[in-house]
Structure 1
Amino acid sequence: MKYQAVLFFVLVFNLFASAQDDKPKLVVGIVVDQMRYDYLTRFYDKYGEGGFKRIIKEGFNCKNNHFNYVPTYTGPGHASIYTGTTPKYHGIIANNWYDKQTKKTVYCAGDSTVIAVGTSSNKERMSPHRMKTTTFADENRLFTQMQGKSIGISIKDRGAILPAGHSANAAYWFRGKDEGSFVSSSYFMKELPRWVKAFNFSRKIESYMKIWDTYYDISTYTESGKDLNEFEGGFKGKKTATFPYNLKKLAKDNMGFDILKVTPFGNSIVADFAIEAIKNEALGKDDFTDVLTVSFSSTDYIGHNFGVNSKEIEDTYIRLDKDLERFLKVLDTEVGEGEYTLFLTADHGAVNVPAYLKSAKIPAGYVARDERKEKFNKFLIDSYGTVDIVENISNNQIFLNRAMVKALDLDLEQVQKDIANAQLTYAHIYKVYTATTMSTVFFGDGIERLLQNGYNQKRSGDVLLVDDPSFIAYSRTGSTHGSGLNYDTHVPLLFFGKGITKGHTYKKTEITDIAPTISALLGISFPNFTVGQPLYFIIE
């Protein structure tokens, strides 16, 4: 019996040790800002073998992956990917939103209780405090007794902060203007580590202030529209949005180092910095799994400026592919090939420039907000004798002055319904729903389900508006996002590395499935409000 007990103990210990050995030393989450799924397929022949193609061929491709809420913005996107839940629960309902308690607009990562680190600017006072739930990086920190590191990196503060989580060791983002350096806040640290200071002083960032021309001969860029067209924004100081771009010359009129954000070199800077983080933070070097989150945000700035069908977007993805290749090579060398797990996805897609779609006879256009507002104000005066019954209109939501509704002895639910019915008669309003409906009626599919998943009782408005497909409130050049339509919801989802099987699926997956999948792979608790399900078929 004693022998059997010892044997049982040895078997259990070996199984535990084997499970520990099966864990990746490092999990890398990559988010490509504003990446439509079709960028994988449209530019596929232009990619090399070591970047996107390597991840696809050696990993698992979820080809029918979608966001399951509205609005599809950067802040909610990053939060949802890493928490495994939607704005309904994690609370990041937009990048900026109207706060019903303070009566002010707040920023998803803004935090006046902290100070900036690495810059004297007050604009970098940031933390994840408005995100109500944990990320899988948080859960990994808890599981490893804070031994596993969590570090977030991005051009955008929200792209670095929200994924890394509440308990992160560090989050770094890019401060442009006349500085051109990576910064953080006192939420994470008292001062920048020595290696970060060295990177900032190395002139590496300054070296990208150069000519941006196409990586290959522009005549071979047959997967995008003409270089000279009327659908692109461009840079101040240059008459046309056409290659090449002299960034050093244009920087003065385009907010200094901020111009790099709107070029592929912004992604290169992030890759450079992430590589330095892997080396200097010794990520993946011990027995505790570390988490590195990397968000490539320049793709979003470029899409907003030039549109999804531009030569600039094609060149950006060709260059991003090269950055991914060298990043993977560093992971192979520093962590070990087959010792890390990586996923790649996006925080949202984007609509094609409506003016371009109209030229192709596809229904599309622009919302005349001023005309809509004028008509709505007349309705408010006629119905309630004042426009002040509405406190704010933002993110396609109408916020009522509830104190005034009460003072006028009006029924809140009826006011919501009356406003919804009025809005539904306006040009290019597709659907309208009230907060009462979102709180009391369950929707299992369609745009209604996405609205409900994005509706947060404490933070969202009283009336939710949905514009016509491909109609946007935006400039007539460049692309944007935010809707629940496929061009905004359908994004890549690639898994690669240790513990991941090879293959692909057309089965519908959702962005909230990523966090529980990584958690299951690591054998840790799911983030505390996860609604997604582990994608068991991608795990070996």
Structure 2
Amino acid sequence: MKNIFSVSILFCLLLSRCGVQETIENRGYSDPTFDLNPPKLMVGITVDQMRYDYLTKYWKDYSDEGFKKLMREGYSCKNHHFSYAPTYTGPGHASIYTGTTPAYHGIIGNTWYDRYEKTGKYCTGDSTVFGVGNTTLAGQMSPKNMLSSTITDELKLHFNGRSKTIGVSIKDRGAILPAGHLADAAYWFVGGEEGNFISSTYYMNELPAWVKSFNASGYKDSLMASGWNMLKPEKDYDESIIDNNQYEAPFTGKLQPAFPYNFSQLADSNGGYDLIKGSPLGNSIVTEMAINCIKNEALGQDEFTDFLAVSFSSTDYVGHRFAPAARETQDCYLRLDLEIARLLNELNATVGEGNYTIFLTSDHGAVHNPNYLKKLGMPAGYFKLDEVNSRVDSALKNAFNLEGLIESYSNDQLFFNDSLITVHKLNKTRLEEIASHATLGYAGVYTALTRTQLVNTEFSSGVNQVLQNGFSTKFSGDVLIVPRPGWMSYPTTGTSHGSPFTYDTHVPLLFYGSGISPGFTDKRTHIKDIASTVASLLGVQMPNANTGDPILEVLGQ
């Protein structure tokens, strides 16, 4: 009997062992040590103001080697969203790379009111550093206002500084925030009379020789000379409305917002090389700079994974001027598709196919021009800040017989004058309630939440949860105001963003390359999930304030 019992135990142990081994193998691991083979180069691509539907809307006009290649041979998250508001460029880039929301990483806007210093704060502004390659305020930039680590920081820590991490963008915030605190470099473009990529003393004291050479190469002048005309025959732009319409803003010095655009003629009245930033030419110069970076920094050429963060910002400038329905917007994306293809070709030639991994996403979407929507019979309008402020001021004055209780209005948030509240021993919660109620009387307001509500209530869904995820207890305002869907505070031409609604939150997320299983999902994923997915792929620690989860399907798990 004893022998039978022993044999039974042994048999059970063997079955258990086989079960464990099968589980490990089913997860794609060959042994319990989880032997990783990370790519030599990770490339993060952010397309500023890219709505998800730009992938599908212009599908038939894209080449086979750009967006289509990423979607057909990579993994697409079709229901990918920002889980917070405000949806702006600074918070978007920070959230992608920190794996969390503004409530944790502290970048609550592109700019915001600093209630402690009583002044406006820019997300990457840093008066303690100086420009490199530039002596103006444009160079006084660093990531110091971002409170948490990024996936690029964690990669540097993991390999004890032997990885290279570099950011390249038209916008400073598009290069600096993704590159992180430990970056080797971040380069951004200054237009005007210069037309150069610059950096700051946060990273270096002098531009590398290859950057100086690129700035002096004449590439920017060849772009300016080319101007901007439609890439394809006019008949192919049937996804967009007619050219020269009242919903778009023309460049200064041009009477009509219509093709073609002669930049040699428009340069003097539009900031010189700033025209590169505000057109598809900006995407071309960023691609060229990224290619030069890959070659001259020898990215992806050793056993320590490098990270190149590329942000295409010109799509945002074009979107703001022309809005989503414009032919200029469509043309900008058709040209960006070719730049993506050009970057892929360079990666294959220089790093080697199978040695790199890409993700592509956006920092926010955009709403259709409200006047265009109204013309079609849809609910939309313009949110007038002065009218809202007037309502709130009147309500507070009537309630407390005091003026100046509102200290600032920033990013659709009211900031109270705390000193005045203290001196007069006012009930701040009561102020919040009165101000909130006053805003709801304005036709363009969808809802308003108070600081007390956001601090004391845990919202689990809907717009309130999205607002809470973007709310910083330390830095945000006392009343958060949300315009109605389809409404915005902006001039009557072009478009903007910043809301918690799907046109601003729904963006692409594509993964492609080494370690990525082709496919797609319609399940909801969030921007904060990108960093943890990349961390799992690379086998490194997640960013220190990470609140996202790896998207296991992307990794074939």
Write the distance in 1 (CA, Å) between the matches of 2:535 and 2:403.
49
Q: Is 1:315 matched up with 2:315?
A: no
Aligned residue identity for 1:279: K
- Please point out which of 284, 287, 290 is paired with 1:274: 290
Q: 1:450 to 1:168 in 2, by over 3 A?
A: same
Moved more, 213-222 or 184-193: 213-222
Paired position in structure 2 for 1:7: none
TM-score (norm 1): 0.96
User: Secondary structure, in 3 states, of the residue corresponding to 1:391?
Assistant: strand
Write the distance in 2 (CA, Å) between the matches of 1:277 and 1:337.
18
Write the distance in 2 (CA, Å) between the matches of 1:428 and 1:238.
33
Paired position in structure 2 for 1:4: none
Instruction: State the Cα distance separating 1:31 from its structure 2 match.
Output: 0.2
Paired position in structure 2 for 1:100: 115
Write the distance in 1 (CA, Å) between the matches of 2:423 and 2:319.
46
Write the distance in 1 (CA, Å) between the matches of 2:386 and 2:33.
65
Instruction: State the Cα distance separating 1:417 from its structure 2 match.
Output: 1.4
Paired position in structure 2 for 1:378: 394
Matches within 5 A, 1:410-449: 410-449=426-465
Paired position in structure 1 for 2:316: 300
Deviations 1:250-282 (A, max 9, x none): 010001101111110100000000000000000
Instruction: State the Cα distance separating 1:420 from its structure 2 match.
Output: 1.0
Instruction: State the Cα distance separating 1:476 from its structure 2 match.
Output: 0.5
- Please point out which of 191, 201, 208 is paired with 2:206: 191
User: Secondary structure, in 3 states, of the residue corresponding to 1:179?
Assistant: coil
Structure 2 unaligned regions, length at least 5: 1-29
- Please point out which of 501, 504, 509 is paired with 1:488: 504
Deviations 1:319-372 (A, max 9, x none): 000011010000011111011010000000000000000000000011122222
User: Secondary structure, in 3 states, of the residue corresponding to 1:343?
Assistant: strand
Aligned residue identity for 1:217: P
Aligned residue identity for 1:509: T
Write the distance in 2 (CA, Å) between the matches of 1:371 and 1:188.
44
Write the distance in 1 (CA, Å) between the matches of 2:528 and 2:315.
22
Write the distance in 1 (CA, Å) between the matches of 2:424 and 2:116.
20
Do the aligned partners of 2:396 and 2:431 also contact (CA within 8 Å) in 1?
Answer: no
Q: Is 1:365 matched up with 2:381?
A: yes
- Please point out which of 380, 383, 387 is paired with 2:403: 387
TM-score (norm 2): 0.93
Matches within 5 A, 1:510-529: 510-529=526-545
Q: Is 1:243 matched up with 2:287?
A: no
Q: Is 1:19 matched up with 2:1?
A: no
Write the distance in 2 (CA, Å) between the matches of 1:355 and 1:33.
23
| Structure whose alpha-carbon radius of gyration is higher | 2
Paired position in structure 1 for 2:169: 154
Aligned residue identity for 2:216: F
Instruction: State the Cα distance separating 1:384 from its structure 2 match.
Output: 2.3
Write the distance in 1 (CA, Å) between the matches of 2:517 and 2:452.
44
Write the distance in 2 (CA, Å) between the matches of 1:16 and 1:522.
17
Instruction: State the Cα distance separating 1:386 from its structure 2 match.
Output: 2.7
Matches within 5 A, 1:501-540: 501-540=517-556
Q: What count of residue pairs does the alignment treat as equivalent?
A: 526
- Please point out which of 166, 179, 196 is paired with 1:164: 179
Write the distance in 1 (CA, Å) between the matches of 2:269 and 2:401.
47
Deviations 1:402-448 (A, max 9, x none): 12111111111121112111221122111011111111100011000
Paired position in structure 1 for 2:489: 473
Paired position in structure 2 for 1:57: 72
Write the distance in 1 (CA, Å) between the matches of 2:115 and 2:219.
44
Matches within 5 A, 1:22-61: 22-61=37-76
Structure 1 unaligned regions, length at least 5: 1-13
Write the distance in 2 (CA, Å) between the matches of 1:396 and 1:228.
32
Paired position in structure 2 for 1:284: 300
User: Secondary structure, in 3 states, of the residue corresponding to 1:271?
Assistant: helix
User: Secondary structure, in 3 states, of the residue corresponding to 2:242?
Assistant: coil
Write the distance in 1 (CA, Å) between the matches of 2:263 and 2:363.
27
Write the distance in 2 (CA, Å) between the matches of 1:88 and 1:98.
16
Paired position in structure 1 for 2:132: 117
Write the distance in 2 (CA, Å) between the matches of 1:16 and 1:48.
43
Instruction: State the Cα distance separating 1:16 from its structure 2 match.
Output: 9.9
Write the distance in 1 (CA, Å) between the matches of 2:442 and 2:325.
30
Moved more, 362-371 or 334-343: 362-371
Deviations 1:175-226 (A, max 9, x none): 1010000000000111100000000000111111132100011222111110
Write the distance in 1 (CA, Å) between the matches of 2:392 and 2:433.
14
Do the aligned partners of 2:407 and 2:417 also contact (CA within 8 Å) in 1?
Answer: yes
- Please point out which of 227, 246, 267 is paired with 1:211: 227
Deviations 1:380-419 (A, max 9, x none): 3222223311110110100011121111111111211121
Paired position in structure 1 for 2:13: none
Deviations 1:83-103 (A, max 9, x none): 000000000000000001100
Deviations 1:130-155 (A, max 9, x none): 00000000000000000011000000
Instruction: State the Cα distance separating 1:377 from its structure 2 match.
Output: 2.3
- Please point out which of 77, 87, 99 is paired with 1:84: 99
Q: Is 1:143 matched up with 2:186?
A: no
Q: Is 1:406 matched up with 2:416?
A: no
Aligned residue identity for 2:322: F
Paired position in structure 2 for 1:263: 279
- Please point out which of 228, 250, 255 is paired with 2:244: 228
Aligned residue identity for 2:290: A
Q: 1:415 to 1:376 in 2, by over 3 A?
A: closer
Aligned residue identity for 2:94: A
Instruction: State the Cα distance separating 1:15 from its structure 2 match.
Output: 6.5
